[in-house]
Structure formats: structure tokens, C-alpha cells
Amino acid sequence: MPKKNKKIKKNKPKKKFKLISLKPEKVNYDKVRHETSVDQSDRQVPYNLRQSGPTKVEMLISTRVRKSPYWHLSMKAGCWRATVYNRIYHPRGYVRPEKGGAMVEYAAIKNHVTMWNVAVERQIRVKGPDAEKFVDYVITRDATKISTMRGRYVILCNYKGGVLNDPVLLRVADDEFWFSLSDSDIGLYLQGVNADKRFNVEIDEIDACPVQIQGPKSKALMKDLAGDQVDFDNMPFYGLAEANIGGRSCVISQSGFSGEAGYEIYLRNATLYAEDMWNAVLKAGKKHKLMVIAPAHHRRIQAGILSWGQDLDHETNPFQCNLGYQVSLSGKGVWEKKTDYIGKEALEKMRDQLRNGDKPYKLQLVGLELGGKPIDDYANDFYLISNSDGGKPVGYITSPWYHPEKGTNIAMGYVPYEGHLSATGFPIGNLGKKYKVHLPKKYSSKAVDAVVVKIPFTQSFNANTREVS
């Protein structure tokens, strides 16, 4: 294994961010390998740990993948790269590398206000007399505690306790809920759950597409957009409101995927009225230095916000990815949801195993600070983690990025679970434990030192339950 790197330098901010490379490193595909030493024996389909690096291919734009109502507007705003999310093309970069890349977008969300095209958050509506009963059955939290015109971050689990989706759930009426999806198409699943029509509800995708308004100037911008239609000064976290933006009907939520102050605007009949709402935001945003950017994964990593398919999937249970509070009513470790829900039996079994000191899974999600040159872009691979003395990999990084304020790289990743419980009874990482992380050559020619630290790395503007539980 590569030799040891220098010790990690912590809490020494770097005033200037320096670009690493404008060109992708060359990959010898004859030497590409799939790591099999990481213990994933509790999974049916292991995470893909093939270390392939950047791949020089062009994404095919076709009719099999949906273009959102905002797609052409993102192109006009300068989008130069995209991925696929929920079978919709998803903008993932506006500022090109030679002009500063993602870190320019980071500066915008930290200092001003940004707009994101997140129409990929498809809206699945559950409506009818049994809407609350149905939603309560498919989510782990108590749906009866969600008031009308409030939202909540929720999870849906399968019968094994694996997380199928972690959407934002909007209750827009007593008998109407919207699932604002992460990257797994849960709409067909929900229809399947109710295939026997035991719940009197209709389940359909609706033409409501969100944008996110994120950054310290987001409230000022929203006030300019909505005027006196919404009392933003007294709007609670995950509070909902109705408003016309650009003359079009929208639902507004105080929420977001960044950890910064922010809102989401859900435009009804988005296929017809995308330009009206989008252009209204651009016009009002000029005086606030609004920038259209990609979803700020550098900032969501700081906040410890998970990305489905990257930090968790359907074979990941809530306990191992810091979502244990989602299977209790209060977030304080108290299991008080008495009604049945999908996955309850499996999750309660895991709870009991954890309390008895058993290990119901192999790997635990932890926060890491690590060395190397600043990681300034999305990872091509799940970077591998070895023990501090080297040897074969035992875990992997899911979400890495550079933290300018800390002056170090940070990451979320999975390492062997050692059975430590928090004061509230939920598993936590072994803080201070050291590892080695194998980064691409452009960030380090040898394995770098890493240490387990608390998540979040930077507290959110609106503290999440996981931060205070």
C-alpha cells in the first residue's frame, strides 16, 4: 500500500481556492479493478466499488428520458453538464471549470442567493378520504402528526427495513399529500401497495415542478416575489403557503437541500407556465445577485444531508445512515408510533439488537475529515477506505468535497460498525478513529489520513432533527 501521508491540518482556513486540474486524469482501463474486500455480506447487491475514474463519453439525449419544463431554461442559463435523476435530465453544472467551476457556485450560495432546477423531484399526489391512513402506512413517521399546510422530511422502507426513498412530504390539504421524491421512482411502488384498493385514495404523478431558492438572501428575494401573499417572517421550517409567482399558482415551502436558508417553489401546471415563474424569479433576483446553479452538493455534504443512491439505498436501513430518528415519533429515541407501517417489524428487531449490543449490519455512515488536495468536483467513484495501518479496503466514501472554511476535505462514508450508541439510543461513529482514504491521483499520489468527526460539519440554518436529537 502507499506510504503514509502527512497529518491532517484542521481548522486552518484557506483564503483562496486553487483549481487542481482542468483536464480529467487519464485512466488505464486494463488496471481498473472492483474492490471485493469490503464486507458487504449483508447486501444482496453490493455497492459498486469499481474504481474507473472519469469516463470520456457523451451523454445521449433521447426520448426515453424526460426533459423537465425548465430544461431549456437551464440551457439558456449556461448548463453544460447533466445527469439523470428520476428518469429526468438533471442539470449539474453551470460555471465551467476554467472559470472556477463548482466553487464559484458555492460562493454564490454562501454569500447571496441561488436558484436550482430541481424538477427531478417528481410530485406523487395521494388524494382521497383515506389519504392520511395510506401515508401513515407507507412512511415510518406518524402521518397524523403532520398538520395541513406543513411539510416533513420522511422515509419509506421496504419490509426488510431498507430505505426506498427519502422525500419531502407536503400536506397541502386534509385529504391530499404530495411526495416530493428523491432519486427512486416511488410512484409505481405506491400504486402497487394499494393495488387491492384497500385505501380509498387516488395515486398519480402531477404536473407540479419545483425550483429551490437557497442562500442567505433567499427570504429577501421571496418577499419581493410574493409580496404580502405570504408572511415569510413567521413562516415555520417546513411550513407551506399558497402564492402566485409570475402570475401562476404555486405552493411555497421553507425547505431545501443545502443547509442554508431557503425555500422551494412548486409550480402547478409547470409544463404550461415554466417560463412565467422562472423569469419572474430571475427578474426579482437581479438586485440580490441571484445565480442559477446546480444543486449545491458541497453545501449539503457540510450539512450532513443524504443523497439517495449515493449515501443510502434500498438495502441501507435507517440506523446505519443516521436516520434512526425517522423511526421514532419525537426524534429522541422513543418508539411511540403504535400503528402498523411497512418495515416496522424489521426495524423494531434491529432496534432491539442494537440495544442488546448486537450488530444487525456491517457498515456505519460516518463523517470524515481527510487530507489531500482540495476535492473540487463530483466523485467518479466511491473512494476506498482502509484502516490506519493500510491494508485492503474496509469501507468507502460516498460524498466527498472540500470545505473552504475548515481548510480541509470532508466526506461521508461507510466504515465497519463498532456498536456505539448515542445518549438517545441511536448508533454513532467512533469519533477520533483514524483511517486511510485512497483518492484519485489528482488529489493525492498516496493514501491520505482521515479521522472520524461529527456530522454535520457545518450546522444548518434550520437545524435538522438529526442535529439536535
Domains of the chain: 300-468 (3.30.1360.120)
The residues with which 195 forms a beta bridge, in sequence order, are none
The lowest-confidence range among 8-12, 20-24, 175-179, 380-384 is 8-12
pLDDT digits 0-9 by tens, 265-280: 999 999 999 999 999 9
Confidence of residue 6 (pLDDT cuts 50, 70, 90): very low
Distances (CA, A) of 243 to 152, 228, 410: 20, 9, 39
For the full predicted model, state whether its pTM sits above 0.75: yes
pLDDT of residue 16: 57
pLDDT of residue 20: 56
Distance CA 51, CA 295 (A): 25
For the segment 188-203, what is each residue's pLDDT rounded down to a tens digit? Answer: 999 999 999 999 999 9
Indicate the pLDDT class of residue 467, thresholds 50, 70 and 90. low
Q: Stretch 156-169: mean pLDDT, rounded?
A: 97
Residue with cell 410512484: 187
The set of cell numbers assigned to 100 is 472556477
Q: What is the mean pLDDT of residues 360-379?
A: 96
Please tell me whether the peptide bond between 456 and the residue prior to it is cis, using omega within 30 degrees of 0: yes
Q: What's the mean pLDDT in 77-90?
A: 97
Tens of pLDDT, residues 29-43: 888 889 999 999 999
Q: Rounded CA gap, 11 and 195, in Å?
A: 54
225-238 per-position pLDDT tens digit = 999 999 999 999 99
Q: Is the pLDDT of residue 469 over 50?
A: no
Is the model's pLDDT at 385 over the cut of 90? yes
pLDDT computed for residue 25 by the predictor: 72
The whole-number average pLDDT for the span 145-167 is: 97
Per-residue confidence at 425, pLDDT binned at 50, 70, 90?
confident
Q: How far is CA 280 from the centre of its chain?
A: 27
- Cα of 185 vs its chain's centroid, Å: 15
Closest Cα to residue 353, out of 329, 308, 317? 317
pLDDT, position 432: 96
Mean pLDDT within 362-376: 97
Mean pLDDT along residues 308-326: 94
Determine the average pLDDT of the residues in 375-390.
Answer: 96
Mean pLDDT of all residues in the chain? 92
DSSP per residue, 53-103: ------PPP-TTSBPPTTHHHHHHTT--EEEEETTEEEEEESS-GGGTTHH
Arithmetic mean of pLDDT, 153-176: 97
Q: Quick check: 397 pLDDT over 90?
A: yes
> Does the structure show a pLDDT above 80 at 14?
no
Q: Which residues contact 185 (CB under 8 A, 6 or more apart)?
A: 86, 87, 122
